[in-house]
Structure 1
Amino acid sequence: MQFFTPVRNRRGAEPLVDQVVAAVEKAIRGQVLRPGMSLPSIREFARAHGLSPYTVSAAYGRLVAGNWLLSRPGSGYWVAPSATAPLAEASGAKRADARAGPIGRRSSVTDEAGGASATGRGAASWTPPRLGAAWLLSDVFADHSIPIKSGCGWLPPEWLDEAGLRQSLRQVSRTPVNQLAGYGHPYGYFPLREYVAQAMARHGMAVSADQVLLTQGAGQGLDIAIRCLLRPGDVIAVESPCYANILPTLRLAGMQMRAIPRDASGLSIEALEQAARDRAIKALFVNTVLQNPTGASLSMHNAFQVLQLAERYDFRIIEDDVSRDLLPDLGPLLAALAPPGRVVYLSGFSKSITPSMRVGYMIGDARFVREFAEAKMALALTTPALMERTVYQVLRQGRYHAHLARIQARLRQAHDEVCALMDEHGLEIHARPGAGLFLWARLPDPWRTGGALQLAEMALADGIWLAPGSYFDPGQADTGWLRFNVAYSRHPALWKFISKTVQAGMLPGSKQRSLLD
């Protein structure tokens, strides 16, 4: 069936998964593919068009989720009987609204992997969600309806090692039931803790497995560290801008925050020393490399200066390092450079394996880790051993480092392309790391001094998710900056929107929306 021709121009073309989805949908709407007709198998389609089977599998999965196709194990894929009817008509607008809940109505472009085809049917009936910090921190993880996710914080699903995950899940499924019957060890699955300790040794950090505590993502590790090391009313220094989730966590814990400006080379040493001297800060929270949201990393000189201040003024450092596996080069690791007990180290596998595993870890001095484990058990008992075993199987297969190398190469290319597009459209770029997920940038005047939240709301009406800088600012200030995920920011519709916005020269707060229509 000749209804699909892949476009491989990496700079301008949509991802191949999106191309396959759009082509099949178009063929069904045009009656080239009729209800009940079978599609080529995944391998046949991949072979005929020179694609990876994983690309075709992801596309077919989206089409099944969107009710375009039906599937049954061993029987392949075929066009659904009601595939030509819009989802809103087939299921009723009330049911669509009920599924959307507080987020907004879902269109038929929704898929369970978090991706969507911007050209799918039902886009006209899609209602944008309301932007805000609460949406960013909660509903966003359930809302798969937004076609272009330039502001999200994860890798595209088709970039993940699907074959490795499936093989690991199969391996774990063979585990004898008697080994899974209990709650597991309070510190977590020992082979994975041992693997983490050995991996950290390669970064110059000598720790034992007993200094590694597995957590439900790095977020639980952050919560545990705050509960054990700090008390309500304590002052903690945070980067400005900083990781968005740290802000509500600290507010819930009753902490006072002191914002420390961060530029492309690291933290302002002057501001940090002033905060330590004036307010007697108890801790500093920092993303060392490939920071969320700016993408920048501390220079080695800046890292040493931060550690010197921590020693001089006796405050602890909570080092969140979840993106290190995306860094192809060396970068400073505070926990390896500091004396014992000064740094609590947090990381996990959400950026490299899959966010849904929720497997993270924290490393610290042995006496702290015992206290951390007690807090973990009091809060939620042990962490899910099935997920920890699955992650361990992924790591021990021998293909994980090759997978990381592929991701790093794809991110490097995405950085080059998105930076070129930003330069072409006159955006100011905070730093050009060439690695990791994020770029921090803002549009030319008059948007340069504010209006990023309004811009994000305008973009969302066009099916584009942007992440305004106020989400990442301790004082929620709108300075015009936006976080871009480079893996999702090459879509032509995004740059068409930005081009029209820049050309219109629309002042923040104006009502000239029609200029962009």
Structure 2
Amino acid sequence: MTKIEQVIHYVDQQLKSRRLTPGMRLPSVRSLAKQLNFSVSTVVNAYERMLSMGLIESRAGSGFFVCAPLEPLILSHIEPIQDQNLDPLKISRQLLEASSFLIKAGCGWLPDDWMPHEALRKAIRDTSKDSVFELMNYSSPLGLSSLRELLARRLHTKDINVTPEQILLTDSGSYSIDLICRFLLKPGDTVLLDDPCYFNFRALLKVHQVKVISVRYTPDGPDIEAFKQAIIEHHPRLYITNSGIHNPTGATLSQSKAHQLVSLIEHANMVVVEDDIFSDFETSASPRLSALDGLKNSIYIGSFSKTLSASLRCGYIVTKSEWIDYLIDLKVATSFSHNNFSAHVLYKILTHGGYRKHIEQLKIRLADAMIISIHRLEKIRIQPWIRPKAGIFLWCELPTDINIQKLMSYCTEKGVILALGNSFGEAHTFQNFLRFNIAQCMHPDFFNILEDAMQYASMNRPLNSL
């Protein structure tokens, strides 16, 4: 590639990543030449060639401007990821496309046989007997009123005191966050995320072309001093977090940090989006930011994909009354309605006595799985970052003599899918970490395969081992 072609390629990449969009002014010839360490004449010739290609135009006395049409939004062009094993979109697709025979120790949901199959079947049968209108028509803009009334009562137990009219049903927790981002963000805004955090938060924020700033997460919540500094330096619009049971660490927010966060968020005039989809796994209540600030600067979201069925697409947004109508308009504009059938099925399951029993059984199974997983992992030198009070995740650190790529390669060959720590954080901070799903780890072959993988990936292993 000639130097002129390199300049053209550089501008083309800026267009594809949408850092340059129609009407924007290009760097001056001299500034781009200095930036790329090329001669001025090289950049002049490159700009001349792009003029002839119709990519840019020259305006007398003003410089060069983009006139090419807006490039399609291709997420991999916005922020290219060198290691594809860390690409959140690739990870999600790999997990979603995985065969049922694979051991999904890195996924974020429960095994199929942990779910209440019969309760789901009964609810679907009962819903199918409802009126033709309920089966065939769109829902009301807010969603099924009886379900919203039930959700409002459930929220009261978390000290989030709302009316059913403050609850908007959606198709999922992810769509809820997307809708909120559409409502509150514009390209170039800043959003704070925990470091580490759920990897799909980053993928979703790419779509909205915002700046992401990571704040170190500790065993009882975000680092408060780092949070303060991020506010001072970057003036964020949003903070997105899990405050009930944190993903991927399994940590819970302390009362002290919750109060400090509410104060900081209020003074910064920003909004916190509180993703609480693991709420029903809790064995003891932890603070909710939405309860502490009365939804003044917070939005609460939830769903039941983790406790009932990932196919039961029904989430919800809880916010202050004055924002609900605007969110309804956005929902109608982007999806018109939501899965009304799922909402009816969900209501029937939640009002059937079997759901409470199912959750209690899940908590017992998860507590046992947590003990077993910690014991088996420590036995092969994998150390949990903390011992979570509840939930499905263990955030673990590998010993320094383990080659993570060899570990991944061995596990993949044996049909085990792991979740690499760096996919949850920034700048290779967590390159020796893995997130384990303790329920999926209960597969009878998993720990034996992992133990063999650890031996294979150890840089200290004998040459003739394995």
Partner of residue 470, structure 1: 422
What residue in structure 2 maps to residue 243 of structure 1? 198
Aligned pairs for 1:273-422 (under 5 A) are 273-422=228-377
Structure 2 counterpart of 1:315, which letter? Answer: M
Q: Matched residues in 1 for 2:178 and 2:130: separation?
A: 31
Q: Larger deviation: 468-477 or 165-174?
A: 468-477
1:283–1:315: 8 Å Cα contact kept in structure 2? yes
Letter in 1 for 2:420: P
Give, in whole Å, the separation in 2 of the partners of 1:475 and 1:193: 41
Distance 1:172-1:266 versus aligned 2 partners, 3 A rule: same
Deviation at 1:514?
A: 8.4
Name 2:131's counterpart in structure 1. Answer: 176
Between the aligned partners of 1:179 and 1:282, the Cα distance in structure 2 is 39
SS for the counterpart of 1:362 is strand
Rounded to whole Å, the distance in 2 between the matches of 1:513 and 1:292 is 37
**1:498 and 1:142 mapped to 2: Cα distance?**
22
Return closer, same or farther for 1:454/1:473 CA change in 2, 3 Å cut-off.
farther
- Report the CA distance between 1:145 and its aligned residue: 4.5
Counterpart in 1 of 2:398?
443
User: How many Å apart are 1:259 and its aligned residue?
Assistant: 0.4
Partner of 1:485: 437
- TM-superposed CA distance for 1:135, in Å, is 2.6
AA partner of residue 173 (structure 1):
S
> Where does residue 231 of structure 1 map in the other structure?
186
- Contact in 2 for aligned 1:146/1:465 (Cα 8 Å): no
**In the alignment, is residue 164 of structure 1 matched against residue 119 of structure 2?**
yes
Alpha-carbon shift at residue 498 of structure 1 (Å): 3.2
Determine the C-alpha separation between the residues in 2 that align with 1:513 and 1:487. 33
Q: TM-score, normalised by structure 1?
A: 0.71
1:200 to 143, 151, 155: 155
Report if the CA contact (8 A) 1:443-1:502 is conserved.
Answer: no
Letter in 1 for 2:408: A
Q: Secondary structure at the match of 2:439?
A: helix
CA distance in 2, matches of 1:231, 1:377: 20
The letter of the residue matching 1:472 is F
Q: Offset of 1:445 from its aligned partner?
A: 2.1
CA distance in 1, matches of 2:333, 2:464: 56
- Deviation per CA, 1:471-498: give whole Å up to 9, x if none: 2114465521101000011345332233
Does structure 2 conserve the Cα–Cα contact (< 8 Å) formed by 1:444 and 1:502? no
Give 2:215's match in structure 1, choosing from 251, 256, 260. 260
Aligned partners of 1:497 and 1:516 also within 8 Å: no
| CA gap 1:410/1:177 in 2 versus in 1, 3 angstroms | same
Mapping of 1:6-85 within 5 angstroms?
none
Q: Does the CA contact (< 8 Å) of 2:141 and 2:332 recur in 1?
A: yes
- Tell whether the 8 Å contact from 2:283 to 2:389 is kept in structure 1 after alignment: no
Seen in structure 2, the aligned counterparts of structure 1 residues 284 and 222 have a Cα distance that, compared at 3 Å, is same
Q: Paired residue for 1:23?
A: none
Give the equivalent residue in structure 2 for 1:461.
413
CA separation in 1, counterparts of 2:406 and 2:333? 42
| Percentage identity across paired residues of the two chains | 28
Indicate yes or no: 2:453 matched with 1:498.
Answer: no
Q: Look up the SS of the partner of 1:441 in the other structure.
A: strand
| CA distance 1:248–1:475, change in 2 (3 Å) | farther
3-state SS, counterpart of residue 293 of structure 1: coil
Distance 1:413 1:375, change over 3 A: same
Contact (CA 8 Å) 1:192, 1:388: kept in 2 or not?
A: yes
- The question of whether the paired residues in 1 share the 8 Å contact of 2:244 and 2:253 is answered with yes
**TM-score if structure 2 supplies the norm length?**
0.78
Q: Residues of 2 paired with 1:280 and 1:287: CA distance?
A: 21
Q: Does structure 2 conserve the Cα–Cα contact (< 8 Å) formed by 1:242 and 1:474?
A: no
Q: How many angstroms does 1:138 deviate by? A: 2.4
Q: CA deviation at 1:188?
A: 1.1
Does the 8 Å CA contact 1:456/1:467 hold for their aligned counterparts?
A: no
Counterpart residue type for residue 370 of structure 1: D
1:433 to 358, 372, 388: 388
8 A contact 1:452–1:482 mirrored in 2: no
Structure 2 residue ranges without an equivalent (≥5): 1-83
Residue 414 of structure 1 aligns to which amino acid in structure 2?
A
Residue aligned with 1:400, SS: helix
Q: Deviations over 1:140-167 (max 9, x none)?
A: 2132255211111111111111121111
8 A Cα contact 2:243 2:287, kept in partner: yes
Question: Are the structure 2 counterparts of residues 454 and 335 from structure 1 closer, same or farther at C-alpha, using a change threshold of 3 Å?
Answer: farther
- Asked which structure has the greater RCO (Cα within 8 Å, sep 6+), the reply is 2
2:81 match: none
Residue 157 and residue 183 in structure 1: after superposition, are their counterparts in 2 closer, same or farther (change >3 A)?
same
Deviation readout 1:188-216 (Å, 9 max, x if unpaired)? 11111111011101111110111000111
The alignment status of 1:209 with 2:164, answered yes or no, reads yes
